[in-house]
């Protein structure tokens, strides 16, 4: 193990100039959004790989946008899997490759098996499959393209979504100030599996080759390896396409997304900012946190700074850079913390009218339960609510977001509650 650790630590990425001479294994012409970080990450991962590559791709933005039938952007063997089973798929492929080599049916050569999956397919849906593959010890590299939400299906929250972020399932409005929970520490969870190599990285000008160096180290590991790669999404995070790298660098400089690796159980920082910037600079650069700038939500921004500071102190202690200062650190905000005035969106009641009847902004009085719009949080009654698949949308959002001028009425049992003035 000591020899393996020393071998991995000695690996360095080639220069950018040298990498640029390698063949590009992801072609242009795909349908990823302008400014999407995923294509940049994938190209760098494939450029850094020295052995022949086989890619397993879970359902995600990357899969959908690079393989629109009958076209493909991939110049390597590529296999599509479901959201939940990419790790199981690569396990089978890797096991079959080893079995065929043992039987002498294929030559003895090194192949890099690489999985690309989003945070939804890694943090949530595919975690069980990934955990099993890591425990079994299959030799592959799993790359999580972490854009902190289910972007492919409509910007819904995942367990990678940070506290306070606006998504379509955690809409910031009158009811809640965005997501109410902090993100899951998936990198730490994977490190707890005691696999040879785990790392957290990002697209950054400084350090320029952090990602490619970690790819080289991960592929050299004798067993499973994992990279959690920060992947800004301008569509879901609300920033200009040209700012992708700037947003990524800000996440690193504020220590919201620190760069580190775990080699055979040893934690190492791979980059320390010269000056740790306030997390507000990163938050203010993204429209998904715009509501936190309002006075009534500033406390959420303060909680995020407290959390980031505490996590950074903990990481410094783990890597031997500083002693843990748990007694001095501010109290950690409780998971699921919500403002005192917040109520669950589907059970919120409107202001009471005369006679105890709940009054809706549209003017209707209803003795029944009111609904909170999924998108704006505005409380509405059955008369002005559109409820496809059980998800309530107010008439205003139905018109402005979906072009539905007259939303279909709700069930007749619900409409009997309404009394028009």
- What does the pLDDT look like over 240-297, one tens digit per residue? 999 999 999 999 999 999 999 999 999 999 999 999 999 999 999 999 999 999 999 9
pLDDT more than 90, % of the chain: 70
* Same-domain status, 53 and 180: yes
Residue tagged 């505490």 (tokens): 310
In a domain, 333, yes or no: no
pLDDT at 383: 55
> pLDDT tens digit string along 350-359?
344 444 444 5
* Same-domain status, 212 and 162: yes
CATH number at residue 163: 3.40.50.970
In a domain, 179, yes or no: yes
* Same-domain status, 248 and 381: no
Confidence class for position 340, pLDDT limits 50, 70, 90: very low
Contacts (Cβ under 8 Å, ≥6 apart) of 417: 366, 367, 368, 381, 382
In a domain, 338, yes or no: no
pLDDT more than 70, % of the chain: 77
Q: Is the pLDDT of residue 406 over 70?
A: no
Domain that holds residue 388: 354-415
What is the Cα–Cα distance from 162 to 289, expressed in whole angstroms? 10
* Same-domain status, 96 and 204: yes
Q: Is the pLDDT of residue 372 over 90?
A: no
Q: Which of these three, 290, 318, 346, is where a domain ends?
A: 318
pLDDT at 12: 82
In a domain, 345, yes or no: no
In a domain, 232, yes or no: yes
In a domain, 45, yes or no: yes
* Same-domain status, 304 and 367: no
* Same-domain status, 263 and 160: yes
* Same-domain status, 68 and 192: yes
* Same-domain status, 203 and 71: yes
In a domain, 155, yes or no: yes
Q: Is the pLDDT of residue 367 over 50?
A: no
- Residue from 289, 280, 298 nearest 172 by CA: 289
Q: How far apart are the first and last CA of the chain?
A: 78
* Same-domain status, 374 and 241: no
357-362 long-range contacts, CB within 8 A, separation 24+:
357/419, 360/384, 362/395
Greatest Cα-to-Cα distance within the chain, rounded to the nearest angstrom: 85
State the Cα torsion 334-340-341-344 to the nearest 10°. 40
* Same-domain status, 311 and 366: no
Q: Which of these three, 318, 345, 377, is where a domain ends?
A: 318
Q: State the DSSP code for 81.
A: E
What is the Cα–Cα distance from 86 to 133, expressed in whole angstroms? 10
Q: 3-class SS at 242? A: helix
> pLDDT tens digit string along 115-165?
999 999 999 999 999 999 999 999 999 999 999 999 999 999 999 999 999
Total domain count, the chain: 2
The alpha carbon dihedral of 403, 406, 411, 414 has a sign of positive
Confidence class for position 174, pLDDT limits 50, 70, 90: confident
Q: Which of these three, 301, 318, 335, is where a domain ends?
A: 318
Strand partners of residue 156? 150
In a domain, 80, yes or no: yes
Q: What is the mean pLDDT of the chain?
A: 85
């Amino acid at each position: 193990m000591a020899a393996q650790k020393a071998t991995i630590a000695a690996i360095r990425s080639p220069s950018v100039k040298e990498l640029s001479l390698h063949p590009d294994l992801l072609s242009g012409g795909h349908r990823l959004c302008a400014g999407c970080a995923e294509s940049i990450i994938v190209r760098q991962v494939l450029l850094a790989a020295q052995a022949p590559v086989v890619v397993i791709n879970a359902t995600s933005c990357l899969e959908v946008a690079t393989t629109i039938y009958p076209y493909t952007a991939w110049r390597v063997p590529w296999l599509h899997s479901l959201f939940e089973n990419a790790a199981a798929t690569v396990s089978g492929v890797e096991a079959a490759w080893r079995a065929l080599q043992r039987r002498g049916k294929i030559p003895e050569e090194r192949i890099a098996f690489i999985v690309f999956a989003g945070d939804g397919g890694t943090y949530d849906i595919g975690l069980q499959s990934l955990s099993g593959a890591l425990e079994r010890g299959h030799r592959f590299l799993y790359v999580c393209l972490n854009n902190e939400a289910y972007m492919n299906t409509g910007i819904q929250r995942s367990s990678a979504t940070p506290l306070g972020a606006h998504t379509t399932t955690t809409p910031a409005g009158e009811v809640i100030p965005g997501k109410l929970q902090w993100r899951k520490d998936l990198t730490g969870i994977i490190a707890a599996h005691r696999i040879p190599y785990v790392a957290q990285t990002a697209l950054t000008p400084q350090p320029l080759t952090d990602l490619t160096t970690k790819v080289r180290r991960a592929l050299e590991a004798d067993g499973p390896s994992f990279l959690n790669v920060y992947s800004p999404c301008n569509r879901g995070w609300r920033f200009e396409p040209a700012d992708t790298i700037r947003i990524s660098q800000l996440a690193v400089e504020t220590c919201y997304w620190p760069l580190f690796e775990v080699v055979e159980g040893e934690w190492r920082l791979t980059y320390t900012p010269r000056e740790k910037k306030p997390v507000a600079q990163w938050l203010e650069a993204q429209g998904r946190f715009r509501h936190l700038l309002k006075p009534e939500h500033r406390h959420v921004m303060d909680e995020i700074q407290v959390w980031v500071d505490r996590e950074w102190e903990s990481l410094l202690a783990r890597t031997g850079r500083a002693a843990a200062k748990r007694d001095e650190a501010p109290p950690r905000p409780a998971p699921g913390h919500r403002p005192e005035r917040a109520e669950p969106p589907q059970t919120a009641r409107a202001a009471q009218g005369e006679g105890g009847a709940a009054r809706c902004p549209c003017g209707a009085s209803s003795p029944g339960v009111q609904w909170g719009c999924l998108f704006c949080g505005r409380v509405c009654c059955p008369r002005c609510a559109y409820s496809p698949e059980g998800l309530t949308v107010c008439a205003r959002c139905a018109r402005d977001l979906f072009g539905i001028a007259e939303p279909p009425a709700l069930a007749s049992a619900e409409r009997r509650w309404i009394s028009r003035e």
